[in-house]
Amino acid sequence: MGSISFSSSTAAIGLDIGTDHVRIAQVKPAGAGLELTGYGSVEIPMGAVVEGEIVDVEAVTSAIKELQRRSNVRGKNVAIGVANQKVIVRLIDLPFMERAELEGAIQYQAQDYIPMAVEESILDFQIIGDYMTPGDEHMMEVLLVAAHRDMIANAVAAVEGAGLKLTQIDVSSFALVRALMGSGQPVIAQDDEGSAVGVIHISSGITNITVVERGVPRFNRISSLAGNQFTQAIANVLNLTFDEAESLKVQVGLPDVESGTSDVPEGLDPSLVQPVQDSLEREVNKFIAEVRRSLDYYLTQTAQVRTIQRIILTGSGAQLKNLAGYLEKGLQAKVEVGDPFVFVKATGATQQLVGEDRSGSAVAIGLAMGGLQS
């Protein structure tokens, strides 16, 4: 509200409300780059966030409060991300019009593209570019974002309940792309025209599938095939509790996709390895089919790009042993594990706070980066 802002240009805070963790990251400009000046994560009680959607506002508020106590991040203004079935991103082609005109028109156009009632949605858009058709029509590409009002209201309530001020609501996949690929214009300038990059973020409750072309996220789909499903499959087959299965999943993982060999830690009952890997392999094959469907759908929608040859993998779920190899084979693409510390540097104490959570931190960091820009 105030006309003078002391906060946004000096540091910004991103808050990533996941399914089993809420994470906070604080980023500030340092020299020519960016520095991570604070970080933290705390667990969210099971069931409070389901498939990326907050269902128990109070439980999430308490988790955020605990995070404030336990992290070294001080500051009230935060940017959050949303990623669930109630936020939809669509790339649409419309006859060219000026921005102001589009602002009015989008209300009427949107319903054709989104599966939710426009009256129940908050709409936003970004003009990606314009072009001439072979028939000489002036067209524009618009990235339309629609988010369900009640879903957003819950997120706002959870954050404000913890005494924080929401400065920005972002689509989590946009934040991811910012963290992994940077936010300048020629983000992936090394990529040829006609190629696109897939970004796959595997968390506990959801997998976020995004396609980026010429630096712009153009496609986003949320799948519930994610880390929890892998764990549940093991629990079902071996008749274990979720926590027991979780620990086995992390220890055993998948075998090497080519050789079939695995490095299983000592002390683990060897008879468990095969059933764990068999159930993981089944789930991962489903997962590959799901990603394939999403990427194929994108490819049918776009004129220029014919293949997706590079995939960046993030989220803690990406740490599943040998997963990258399976995806590489199944998706016929080069799969690399994404590093959110390319554009933002963490030093000393903050690096320790991130610790093992490097791959889980991408969304929070990208949200904070977005907060700096606004």
Binding site for ligand ADP (CB under 6 A): 18-21, 203-205, 227-228, 231, 246, 249-250, 315-317, 319-320, 360
Using DSSP, state whether 47 is helix, strand or coil: coil
Q: Is 249 in the site for Mg ion (CB under 5 A)?
A: no
CA dihedral over 170, 176, 177, 179, signed as positive or negative: positive
Q: Smallest gap, in angstroms, from Cβ of residue 187 to Mg ion?
A: 27
Q: Smallest gap, in angstroms, from Cβ of residue 49 to ligand ADP?
A: 7
Closest CB to ligand ADP among 167 and 319? 319
Q: Smallest gap, in angstroms, from Cβ of residue 345 to ligand ADP?
A: 21
Contacted entry of Mg ion, ligand ADP, none for residue 276, CB cut-off 5 to 8 Å set by kind: none
Closest CB to ligand ADP among 110 and 175? 175
**For residues 108 and 14, what is the distance between their CA atoms, to the nearest angstrom?**
33
**For residues 352 and 184, what is the distance between their CA atoms, to the nearest angstrom?**
28
Q: Segment 16-35, which members bind Mg ion (CB under 5 A)?
A: 20-21
**134 to 91, 137, 138, 356: CA distances (angstroms):** 20, 7, 10, 52
Closest CB to Mg ion among 20 and 213? 20
Amino acid present at 6:
F
Closest CB to ligand ADP among 81 and 217? 81
The residue at minimum Cβ distance from Mg ion is 21
The residue at minimum Cβ distance from ligand ADP is 227
Closest CB to Mg ion among 21 and 249? 21
Contacted entry of ligand ADP, Mg ion, none for residue 231, CB cut-off 5 to 8 Å set by kind: ligand ADP
Both tokens of 214, joined, read 């010429």
Alpha helix ranges (H) inside 162-211: 172-181
Closest CB to ligand ADP among 21 and 86? 21
CB burial string 176-215: b at 16+ within 10 A, e below:
bbbbbbbbeeebbeebeeebbbbbbbbbbbbbbbbbbbbb
Q: Smallest gap, in angstroms, from Cβ of residue 97 to ligand ADP?
A: 39
Contacted entry of ligand ADP, Mg ion, none for residue 319, CB cut-off 5 to 8 Å set by kind: ligand ADP
**For residues 207 and 299, what is the distance between their CA atoms, to the nearest angstrom?**
19
**For residues 323 and 279, what is the distance between their CA atoms, to the nearest angstrom?**
13
CB burial string 17-32: b at 16+ within 10 A, e below:
bbbbbbbbbbbbeeee
Contacted entry of Mg ion, ligand ADP, none for residue 19, CB cut-off 5 to 8 Å set by kind: ligand ADP
Total number of residues that touch Mg ion (CB under 5 A): 2
Contacted entry of ligand ADP, Mg ion, none for residue 294, CB cut-off 5 to 8 Å set by kind: none
List the one residue out of 207, 219, 210, 320 whose CA is nearest residue 262.
Answer: 320
Using DSSP, state whether 289 is helix, strand or coil: helix
Closest CB to ligand ADP among 148 and 249? 249
Q: Segment 319-338, which members bind Mg ion (CB under 5 A)?
A: none
**For residues 370 and 75, what is the distance between their CA atoms, to the nearest angstrom?**
16
Q: Which residues bind Mg ion (CB under 5 A)?
A: 20-21
